[in-house]
């Protein structure tokens, strides 16, 4: 379950917290040839097929392929697959947690009420409000979430329906605006993550073609971190992105 | 001068001596690229040889620092697991980086030793020379970035080689440059992962022995499913000798960027320039 959350965060959904399925949204902002980019990115979006390399942690190094499209997202690795497709105002996100065992799949379904939002080089239509359900393929909701994405504030909330889920809320308020290849995300934001009765904050900085969040890590047990802590992301404006997650894990991806 | 020799001389002067004008043969090593349809196992996994290689390219004192760091982190983990035995409230290591702060160096070293590098539809191998029947073979230290997508993809898979810089700095300048580059490699926000001044070497036996012992202790006390167990296992088995998979000249330095800095190669170049003067013999993907 959390795999869906972390992957979505890793792929640029810094602001959406655990309600990750909106990442599968499709775009009225991105896509090749549009003017999403800032001067630093020459108008290139992140759409394309990417070879992703990450810090090796265990015995087998996983080479992952990420396909970002105007209307789709597909992540293919030896251990799992994620796909997201849009049909009308609904995005369906399938997390194949165990390859070729459909019974283990988790489905995220997100219904959008559209709103104005320019995500720049991210080729997804994210703006507006979302109603989200997260459920195993076998049926029954695990979590239900709401998400609102606007140019000055991005808020979300999830509640568990069964014990498989977990409750959390977050707000992300823009502090200052800046010209950025990430469109309306450009500038600084204050992200506040609330879970189990405690709230932690994290400053986010969306630059021309880069993202930097507050130091820290949640996965290792850090008591004051948020899921978006410890992230750096750089785009060279051409065919390479790289950065860090959780303050230590490195990644790089090259567009084919 | 024999007639045939004189004629050849005249022809050479008039038309240009072909042997003098032929393009220089690129020096090795090379990346041999094969396009494959069958899936292949990936590489660059955590391994003991990569640990030793990484320590061979970091400041000598790094071995002792990591040793102490690992010992302290493991002690904190033990105290946290057994709170009843300790009155103080030791914080747990807050991240993997607390245990292995030099993970960018380990990551780069694993990639250096990862040949052949495999991914969907492609296999890339480091070779000293190109086979006559090689379908695609590109020099590692080419002056220009390969224009074709296949070459770019090969360099991305073999990223530690594919984006490294080969520098020449003679004499005292080399020693100063080495010191500055290795100091830069320790900066958390830096772009440099590894700096080699030789293609092989040996690590301090006593320091390595202590590190291995602490890695084994950490393995015993950290949860079996904790991330990084494979690297701890590699630390516990690190050999004393290390070797780069290609030969480095006596005046040369080989500098590898961090994986997280591959979209910031201009910053990498700037760090190299700030460290001191050198002749750049080659670099990939610029």
Q: Do B93 and A220 touch (CB under 8 A)?
A: yes
Strand partners, A245: A249
Measured between CA atoms, how close is B204 to chain A, in angstroms? Answer: 26
pTM of the entire predicted model: 0.84
| Cα dihedral A216, A222, A227, A228 in deg (nearest 10) | -10
Q: What is the CA radius of gyration of chain B?
A: 23
Rounded to whole angstroms, how far apart are CA atoms B93 and B72? 9
Contact yes or no for A201/A226 (Cβ under 8 A): yes
Residue-wise pLDDT for A43-80, tens only, equals: 689 999 999 998 877 655 667 899 999 878 999 987 78
Q: In angstroms, what separates the C-alpha of A26 from chain B's closest C-alpha?
A: 25
Range ranked top by mean pLDDT from A72-86, A128-142, A220-234, B255-269:
B255-269
Lowest pLDDT segment from A4-8, A22-26, A137-141, B181-185? A22-26
The CA distance from B54 to B111, in Å, is 11
B45 CB within 8 Å of a chain A CB: yes
Q: Which residues in chain B have their CB less than 8 angstroms from residue A249's CB? A: 96, 103
Low-confidence residues of chain B: pLDDT under 70: 1-27, 39-43, 77-99, 101, 142-147, 225-227, 282-286
In angstroms, the separation between the Cα of residue B133 and the nearest Cα of chain A is 25
Between A10 and A140, the more confident residue is A140
Contact A217, A22 (CB under 8 A): no
Out of A220, A250, A254, closest to residue B152 by CB: A254
| pLDDT attached to residue B144 | 61
In this complex, is the C-beta atom of A6 within 8 Å of any C-beta atom belonging to chain B? no
| The pLDDT of residue B227 | 67
A60 CA: distance to closest CA in chain B (Å): 6
Q: What pLDDT is stored for residue B80 in this prediction?
A: 63
* Helix (H) / strand (E) containing A225: none
Q: What is the pLDDT of residue B1?
A: 39
B260, A241: Cβ pair inside 8 Å? no
Kindly indicate the confidence band of residue A223, based on its pLDDT and cuts at 50, 70 and 90.
low
Q: What is the pLDDT of residue A55?
A: 84
- Answer whether residue A189 shows pLDDT above 60: yes
Are the beta carbons of A244 and B260 separated by less than 8 Å?
yes
Chain B contact for A99, CB < 8 A? no
B96 vs chain A: nearest CA distance in angstroms?
7
Of A117, A118, A146, the C-alpha closest to A130 is A146
CA distance linking residue A199 with residue A171, whole number of Å: 10
Q: If you count residue pairs, one on A and one on B, with CB atoms under 8 Å apart, how many are there?
A: 126
Asked whether the predicted pLDDT for residue A11 surpasses 60, the reply is no
Q: What is the pLDDT of residues B73-96, one digit of tens each?
A: 777 766 666 555 444 444 444 455
**Partner-chain residue, chosen from A60, A220, A244, that has the shortest CB–CB distance to B45:** A60
- Burial B154-175, CB ≥16 within 10 A → b, else e: bbbbbbbbbbbbbbbbeeeebe
Q: Note whether A220 contacts B95, CB cutoff 8 Å.
A: yes
> How far apart are alpha carbons B104 and B50 in whole angstroms?
12
Contact list, B46 vs chain A (CB under 8 Å): 56-59
Top residue of B95, B105, B116, B269 to mutate, by most chain A CBs within 10 Å, is: B95
- For residue A246, give how far its alpha carbon lies from the nearest alpha carbon of chain B (Å): 8
The H or E element spanning position B282 is strand B279-283
A226 in Cβ contact with A202 (< 8 Å):
yes
Closest residue to B119, CB basis, from A51, A223, A239: A51
Tell me whether A236 touches chain B (CB under 8 Å).
yes
Give the pair of three-digit tokens for residue B158: 């073999």
Instruction: Check B95 against A247: CB less than 8 A apart.
Output: yes
Sheet strands (E) in chain A: 48-54, 64-68, 72-76, 81-87, 90-96, 106-114, 128-136, 143-149, 153-160, 168-177, 187-195, 198-206, 210-213, 232-235, 240-245, 249-255
Residue A216 pLDDT level (bands cut at 50, 70, 90):
confident
Using the CB atoms, write b or e for A171-196: b if 16+ within 10 Å: bbebeeeeebbbbbbbbbbebebbbe
Cα–Cα distance list, B85 to B76, B92, B188 (Å): 12, 15, 35
The pLDDT of A190-199, averaged and rounded, is: 92
ipTM for the whole complex: 0.84
Low-confidence winner among A22-36, A240-254, B16-30 (lowest mean pLDDT): A22-36
Q: Do A60 and B118 touch (CB under 8 A)?
A: no
Q: Is B42 on the interface with A (CB under 8 A)?
A: yes
């Amino acid at each position: 379950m959390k795999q869906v959350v972390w992957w979505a965060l890793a792929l640029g959904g810094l602001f959406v917290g655990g309600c990750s399925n909106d990442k599968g949204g499709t775009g009225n902002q991105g896509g090749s040839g549009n003017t999403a980019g800032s001067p630093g990115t020459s108008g290139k979006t992140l759409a394309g097929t990417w070879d992703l390399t990450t810090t090796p942690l265990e015995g087998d190094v996983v080479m992952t392929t990420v396909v970002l499209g105007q209307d789709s997202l597909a992540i293919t690795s030896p251990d799992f697959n994620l796909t997201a497709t849009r049909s009308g105002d609904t995005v369906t996100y399938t997390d194949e947690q165990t390859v070729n065992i459909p019974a283990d799949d988790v489905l995220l379904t997100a219904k959008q009420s559209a709103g104005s939002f320019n995500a720049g080089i991210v080729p997804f239509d994210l703006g507006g409000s979302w109603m989200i359900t997260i459920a195993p393929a076998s049926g029954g909701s695990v979590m239900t979430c709401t998400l609102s994405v606007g140019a000055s504030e991005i808020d979300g909330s999830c509640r568990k329906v069964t014990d498989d889920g977990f409750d959390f809320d977050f707000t992300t308020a823009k502090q200052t605006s800046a010209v950025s290849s990430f469109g309306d995300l450009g500038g600084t934001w204050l992200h506040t993550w609330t879970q189990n009765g405690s709230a932690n904050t994290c400053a986010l900085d969306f630059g021309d073609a880069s993202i930097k969040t507050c130091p820290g890590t949640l996965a290792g047990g850090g008591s004051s971190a948020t899921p978006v802590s410890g992230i750096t992301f750089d785009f060279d404006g051409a065919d390479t992105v790289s950065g860090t997650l959780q303050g230590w894990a490195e990644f790089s991806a090259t567009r084919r | 001068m024999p007639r045939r020799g004189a004629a050849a001389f005249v022809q050479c002067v008039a038309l240009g001596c072909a042997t003098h004008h032929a393009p220089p043969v690129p020096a090795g090593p090379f990346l041999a690229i094969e396009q494959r349809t069958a899936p292949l196992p990936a590489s660059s996994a955590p391994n003991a040889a990569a640990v030793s290689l990484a320590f061979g390219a970091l400041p000598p004192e790094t071995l002792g620092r990591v040793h102490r760091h690992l010992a302290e982190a493991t002690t904190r983990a033990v105290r946290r697991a057994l709170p009843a035995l300790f009155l103080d409230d030791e914080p747990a290591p807050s991240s993997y980086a607390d245990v292995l702060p030099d993970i960018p160096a380990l990551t780069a070293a694993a990639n250096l030793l990862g040949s052949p590098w495999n991914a969907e539809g492609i296999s890339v191998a480091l070779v000293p020379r190109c086979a006559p029947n090689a379908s695609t073979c590109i020099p590692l230290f080419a002056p220009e970035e390969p224009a074709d997508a296949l070459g770019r993809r090969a360099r991305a898979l073999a990223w530690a080689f594919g984006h490294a810089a080969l520098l020449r700095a003679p004499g005292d300048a080399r020693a100063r440059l080495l010191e500055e580059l290795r100091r830069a490699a320790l900066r958390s926000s830096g772009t440099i992962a590894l700096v080699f001044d030789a293609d092989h070497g040996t690590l301090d036996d006593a320091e390595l022995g202590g590190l291995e012992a602490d890695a084994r202790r950490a393995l015993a006390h950290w949860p079996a499913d904790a991330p990084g167990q494979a690297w701890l296992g590699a630390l516990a088995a690190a050999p004393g000798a290390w070797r780069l998979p290609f030969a480095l000249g006596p005046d040369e330095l080989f500098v590898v960027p961090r994986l997280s800095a591959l979209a910031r190669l201009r910053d990498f170049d700037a760090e190299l320039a700030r460290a001191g003067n050198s002749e750049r013999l080659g670099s990939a993907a610029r």
